[in-house]
Structure 1
């Protein structure tokens, strides 16, 4: 079934107004292939998950697809467990299910909004773990001819908040399912940020993933606003990476600078830069940077894409002027 002139204001967590010329929610790979086969070659195509990492900048022409494939399969293979989830499965459902079974791997990625199909596109990550660390493979459909394709994790070209699907071959595939490789035994990772403070000197091998998941959920809820209450798209800017020399210059002027070692120098905490530039809790019209987490851009009500662009531009300009650092927007603008 295809909806025409469909309202998308509830299909993006920033709650920006937009409409889709044609909207489909295929619940199988066959239905998706049929949609692609019936599409005009020059017709624009957009794919949404839960709309938690995008900025809808106006109406979407052509065909918009929201995959509704929601099947989950679990397989135990010795000390490992493999989980295959359809693209429409809510991501945090996987964390709850696997953590409840005692399987390790997804606890640090708890409460990240979005769907399983969107996870490899963005290479989601939190508290020292990325999807790339637990992904086995990705199943997809080629947009050009509807044929099914499979990518092993090593073929996905994962990087920080990036992948093959987002960058080099963007728009060529629609993800239909992912398979995760988890561990039934072994240590949890609790050496990052708030988790390190929470678990202190505890032996990671003695921790249950459900306990780590509960701690991650508490940390996220205390730090990040609920999009259902205050519309937002999560972290609005990526943490920038600067050279060692640039970092050392900044550190001399800003002794409290928050940064982490990176293979290309140092990764700076974008939220700290934004707060230091004076934008934490500050509004510009109907949008603002959150009062508790400066990295999160929020819609206080009635915002449009132009308001988001104006605020993001102002924040970037002030951070560039003060720190000589360019912030890169994380949510994807559409169209």
Structure 2
């Protein structure tokens, strides 16, 4: 172990097995835990000496190789602040290391409503804009105000608004920049008042607690989302997984009509642009025969075909081989290319 500055410690050969929700065995050649904005310049100095850098949040959207080269920076900051509120909004800021679900729960408890549809998504606040997370009819960019990001190479803090972040479906400018350029320090969310529930998603509309009528609150939506997710998705603490492993593919109306000729019950959702449709990747994988199947130590979850699981002892190669086989079968059967969500880290 080598100490840098007053607080940061550079650790050699750090075990990352507990830092990724897939539960893959992995070790970092060099590792540092970032907990304080005052240490950002030290992070940059370590990156200069020991890069390339990979910034690790909750480890819920990564496939880690057995040995990760370079420097892994684990974001472990905490803090939530109410910055402003008025008749038409609430502005709240959270440090990048905050656990996402805990942050959402705290907002709901405080009456800062608007994030409840995003409950129980694994990961951290700082990682959320990278993926532009979304669930049950709400996307992060719909509630996003701005963020603070540390440019690791240039050693400067940058404030970025929605345009700067280049949000798209499960995408942002941070993916284009590649790992090691940015460390997202804090994220600000603007939540509209008065609150209006978003219940467009079929599972929410069908949920008994939400259709009984009186007394609809953000807390009830939050509880419903948690119940629905728990009924469909495995707990990473029990069965290793990275959540949804593939993006829902976007196709043109013409492509959808062609697919419907052979598959009239295909699941698709019209997009806001009015001319494209989002296909349910889980439906495609299920119809290709993969739901519940295993390949050695990995497999497809038996309740949600979008989720690949580690039954124990899996490596990154095992996961990626399974993913490749699924992509190949879906492409052959439907002519649709699936895109992986988690980032491969080597």
CA distance in 1, matches of 2:90, 2:77: 21
Tell me what 2:10 maps to. 2
How far apart are the structure 1 equivalents of 2:90 and 2:67? Answer: 42
Whether 1:252 aligns to 2:296 is no
Farther-moved stretch of structure 1 (36-45 vs 286-295): 36-45
What SS does the corresponding residue of 1:318 show, helix, strand or coil?
A: helix
- Distance in 2, Cα, partners of 1:39 & 1:269: 40
Distance in 2 (CA, whole Å) between partners of 1:68 and 1:123 is 20
1:57 aligns with 2:68: no
Q: CA deviation at 1:51?
A: 0.4
Structure 1 residue 87 and structure 2 residue 96: aligned? yes
Which residue of 178, 189, 195 maps to 2:204?
195
Q: What's the offset of the Cα at 1:250?
A: 1.1
Asked whether 1:186 is paired with 2:195, we answer yes
* TM score, norm. by length of structure 2: 0.92
Do 1:187 and 1:207's aligned partners in 2 also have CA atoms closer than 8 Å? no
Q: Quick check: 109-118 or 180-189, which moved more? A: 180-189
8 Å Cα contact 1:33/1:141 also seen in 2:
no
Q: 2-side partners of 1:267 and 1:143: how far apart?
A: 36
Secondary structure of 2:229's counterpart equals helix
* Matches of 2:328 and 2:199, distance apart in 1: 35
Of residues 179-188 and 101-110 in structure 1, the stretch that sits farther from structure 2 once superposed is 179-188
The corresponding residue for 1:25 is 33
1:228 correspondence with 2:231: no
Go from structure 1 to structure 2 and tell me whether the alpha carbon gap of 1:42 and 1:102 turns closer, same or farther (over 3 Å shift): closer
Residue in structure 2 matching 1:310, options 302, 321, 324: 321
Uncovered stretches (5+) of structure 1, i.e. residues with no partner: none
Distance 1:31 1:168, change over 3 A: closer
Kindly indicate whether residue 48 of structure 2 is the aligned counterpart of residue 35 of structure 1: no
Q: Distance in 2 between matches of 1:103 and 1:43?
A: 39
Contact 2:114 2:192 in 1 (8 A): yes
Output the CA distance in 2 between the equivalents of 1:122 and 1:89: 16
Give the conservation status (yes or no) of the 8 Å contact 1:82–1:180. yes
In the other structure, the counterpart of 1:145 is 154
Residue number among 98, 114, 131 corresponding to 2:140 in the alignment: 131
**Equivalent pairs, count:** 333
- Determine the C-alpha separation between the residues in 2 that align with 1:103 and 1:142: 30
Which residue number corresponds to residue 4 of structure 2?
A: none
1:276 aligns with 2:284: no
Q: Distance in 2 between matches of 1:45 and 1:102?
A: 38
Q: Is 1:72–2:83 an aligned residue pair? A: no
Cα shift readout 1:65-112 (whole Å, capped 9, x = no counterpart): 011110111134212211111110000111111111222211000000
- Quick one: distance in 1 between partners of 2:195 and 2:94? 23
CA contact (8 A) 1:132 1:153 kept: yes
Contact 1:274 1:280 in 2 (8 A): yes
Mapped partners of 2:243, 2:169: distance in 1: 16
Query: Hey, what does 2:277 align to over in structure 1?
Result: 266
CA offset at residue 196 of structure 1?
Answer: 1.5
Aligned to 1:329: 340
Moved more, 44-53 or 185-194: 185-194
Q: Does the residue aligned with 1:40 lie in a helix, a strand or coil?
A: helix
Alignment partner of 1:112: what SS? coil
Q: Quick check: 1:102–1:184 contact (8 Å CA) kept in 2? A: no
Cα 1:253–1:202 shift into 2, 3 Å: farther
Counterpart of 1:292?
A: 303
Note if contact 1:142-1:173 (Cα within 8 Å) is conserved in structure 2: yes
Deviations 1:214-265 (A, max 9, x none): 0000000001000000000000000011121111111121121100012352
Are 2:146 and 2:161, in contact at CA under 8 Å, matched by a contact in 1? Answer: yes
CA–CA distance in structure 1, aligned partners of residues 103 and 339 of structure 2: 29
